[in-house]
Amino acid sequence: MSASRRRLWACGLASLVLPVFALAAAPSYAQNLTDPKRIDAALARLVADQGLVGVSALVYEKGDEVFFGAYGLAEREANRPMRRDTLAYIYSMTKPITGVALMRLYEQGAFRLDDPLAKYAPEFANLKVYAGEDEHGQPILVAP
């Protein structure tokens, strides 16, 4: 698969994965995630409209698998279909996944937005920042 096709594929995958993670974090939208007909239709449309060569989705709700669907090809050149065991490249997903994990922890009351960072990462307890130089050219470090 060429680099440009991989980028297009990864962008398409991200456009599908991000809304799923966002909806998973918002309980009021949970019924949309567990409607297999709606998910099937969305996946089929992504492939039929030729936006993606292949796509798959797996949804868990409260620890149980409630949906799995795969459409299109995992590899166009080999005419290999998407399956449950297809390995997919996922680029630049660290921040969205971490963000959703943090939103879920926040909803559960695991932390407060105004908690000091040092409460969870003690190495930041005595952090100093650059505030200029003294008369001898040495850096002046102060608490933020």
Domain positions in the chain: 3-112, 114-144
92 catalytic? Reply is yes
Catalytic residue among 2, 4, 28, 92: 92
Reduced DSSP (H G I as helix, E B as strand, rest coil) percent helix, strand, coil of the chain, to 5: 45, 20, 35
pLDDT in tens, 91-105: 788 899 899 999 999
What is the rounded (10 degree) CA torsion for 51, 13, 90, 110? 160
C-alpha to C-alpha distance for 96 and 103, rounded to whole angstroms: 10
The pTM assigned to this predicted structure is 0.46
Residue 67, beta-bridge partner list: 59
Please give the C-alpha separations between residue 60 and each of 33, 63, 64, 77, 90, in angstroms, as whole numbers: 9, 6, 5, 32, 19
pLDDT in tens, 3-61: 444 444 444 444 455 444 444 444 444 555 557 888 888 889 989 987 789 999 888 88
Q: Give the list of residues 6+ apart from residue 142 with CB closer than 8 angstroms, or none.
A: 128, 129, 131
